[in-house]
Chains A and B, each alone.
Chain A
Amino acid sequence: MIKYYLDFEKPIEELELKIEELKRISDGKDMNISGEIRRLEKKARDLRTEIFSKLTPWQKTLLARHPDRPYTLDYINIISEEFVELHGDRKFSDDKAIVGGIAKIGNDTVVIIGHQKGRGTKERIKRNFGQPHPEGYRKAFRLMELAEKFKKPVITLIDTPGAYPGIGAEERGQAEAISANLMLMSRLRVPVISVVIGEGGSGGALALSVSDRLYMLEHSVYSVISPEGCAAILWRKNGDLNADDFSKASDALKLTAQDLLQFKIIDDIIPEPLGGAHRDVEQTAKNISEKILEALDELRAKTPGKLTEERYKRLKKIGSFVEES
């Protein structure tokens, strides 16, 4: 299998290619070579540990958008024993950039919804690169109402560059669709748990993440604007912005899980395997599902009234201002 390496992973790539080459020659028999392989494998692991222990915000952004990174349906398929996908907003169409349905996780039936990106050109286009139209948000709205009616918890997985900026999206009320979800989620009378699994792109991400517990995967990002958008506003240079600009913008935006935990905007960070979620999807899925089940245990004990009251109080706390009287 050909793996995709990001620029900052190139030193690891070289080592891993060498290891594979040696493995092929030795055929597992030559003792000298297998000693060398073990040595190189350790070196690769150490290098990876070192590189991944000090990723910059921009590197994390690239990792969060990594083409091999697991997407919503990958996780749903692993963490749920049963899953029935449900389609359509009953008004206009079925937006494939948001998926959702009924799932069984542990002993619980939940309604699970998430942004869905595609892998490969055809699938990417079908999923519109994970950028929903209003219909996606309205499908989510419908499924959340369904969850409330049958007293099932809502789980959302967040992974989008943002809501789609297009003519049809505006004509059909992109802003209205997002605002309606924000309002609905703030008062749902069932537990709501959100996990940012990749890119949390602005309002299009927020529209699925008003919750009782908000978690982020270790190398995911969540931001009010993309580093590219931020750089374009700050250092408008007619399109010749480069990785340095994006890197500076990512630093300034404080968009990593670690930053946002410090700001108390999220509740916890879910660890990823060494090298990122795509290196061990099963393990990442297990980490996610354990966190969800732990949160469900805690939230299940609360009455619907207490849930919504506490959710509002949590939101009220998020602001950074001083007040002089």
Chain B
Amino acid sequence: MAWFKKGKELKADKKVKIPEGLWVKCDNCREIIYKKEIDKNLQVCPKCNYHFRISALERLKLIVDEGSFIEMDEGLSSSDPLKFRDRISYREKLEENRKKSGLEEAAISGEATIQGHPVILVIMDFSFMGGSMGSVVGEKVLRASETALEIKKPLITVASSGGARMQEGMFSLMQMARVSAAIARLKEGGVLYISILADPTFGGVTASFAMLGDIILAEPRSLIGFAGPRVIEQTIKQQLPEDFQRAEFLLEHGLIDKVVDRKELKKTVAQIIRLMA
């Protein structure tokens, strides 16, 4: 479409990575399930409705109209401002993660249609450095937001992240402010923003764009919070309640609008866009 100067079609044909072999043990109900059955069911356990984590590309296939996605800002990569290294350098770590995930960064962004409705979309991928937000993820969200404002089309984000990326230090922390500022402008511009939370969403991502949606949806049982459960347990020195920080817990406490099954996600997003238009 005309509003992008550059951008190429992305082949969303990557193989599912989570279950290996013919049989898979469900993380939740512990049942042994035939892998093909899970594949057929959008990576959701047919026995207990547990939603396995999925990659950004699988998510993309699931929520946009086939062939409609055009990626933008795919040429962005981190310039390692801190020259950070632990056992290996941050640059090497990025390279490792690129190979492992087949992605350039922890988020992809672009334009697409959802049941015919044009949208701007950002999808995070937890398998790339824990979906952490550094300068590149921040920039992608910021630009996506600015584009959505410019063309007055809804912004949709799918979060899945451990939080801000440690290896970029304060540059990462400041991304929280940048993306929140961009979303603020989107709101003033009267553009719809739907934030989808997938398992897990924490830290600087939750505490910035993920919680700023006009409408916030979450997948069942997703862990969502500011502080991670381990940090909380260490701080308060007690065990956490069973459903603590699950999507249903957030719904109960009035923090999100709706828990939506993966198979209903596309339909629900399209419905909201249609009703709010």
Chain A partners chain B? yes
Question: Which residues of A are at the interface with B, using a C-beta cutoff of 8 A?
Answer: 163-167, 169-176, 178-180, 182-187, 202-203, 206-207, 210, 222-225, 230, 233-235, 252-255, 260, 263, 265, 311-312, 315-316, 318-325
**Which chain B residue lies CB-closest to A207?**
B207
State which of A179, A230, A260 has its C-beta within 8 Å of the C-beta of B170.
A260
Contact in complex: B209, A179 (CB < 8 Å): yes
Interface assignment of B4: CB less than 8 Å from any CB of chain A: no
Q: Does B71 contact A (CB under 8 A)?
A: no
Interchain Cβ contacts within 8 Å, total number: 187
| Secondary structure of the B contact surface, majority rule | helix
A75 to B240: give the CA distance in the assembly, Å. 39
Contact A325 B178 (CB under 8 A): no
For the complex, is B108 an interface residue (Cβ under 8 Å from A)?
A: no
Contacts A166-B236, A179-B211, A182-B181 given; does A318 touch B171 at CB 8 Å: yes
Contact A173 B177 (CB under 8 A): no
Is B272 in contact with chain A by the CB < 8 A criterion? no
Check A321/B77 contact, CB under 8 A, given A167-B232, A174-B226, A203-B173: yes
CB contacts (< 8 Å) of A322 on chain B: these are: 76-79
Query: Are the CB atoms of B184 and A233 closer together than 8 Å?
Result: no
B253 engages A171 (CB within 8 Å): yes
Contact with A along B204-243 (1 / 0, CB 8 A): 1011111110000000000001111001100110001100
Which residues of chain A come closer than 8 Å to B79, judged between CB atoms? 320-322
User: Which residues B67-99 have CB closer than 8 A to chain A?
Assistant: 73, 75-82, 84-87
Kindly list the 6 A-B residue pairs having the minimum CB-CB distance in the complex, ordered from nearest. A165-B227, A186-B181, A182-B180, A320-B81, A175-B206, A175-B226
Asked if residues A315 and B177 are in contact (CB atoms below 8 Å), the reply is: yes
Interface residue ranges, B against A (CB under 8 Å) = 6, 73, 75-82, 84-87, 135-136, 138-139, 142, 164-166, 168-178, 180-181, 183-185, 187-188, 203-204, 206-212, 225-228, 231-232, 235-236, 240-241, 244-245, 249, 253-255
Residues in B with CB closer than 8 Å to A325 are 6, 75
Asked, given contacts A255-B170, A325-B75, whether A166 binds B82 with beta carbons under 8 Å apart, the answer is no
8 contacts between A and B (CB under 8 A): A170-B227, A224-B164, A224-B166, A230-B166, A253-B166, A254-B82, A320-B78, A320-B171
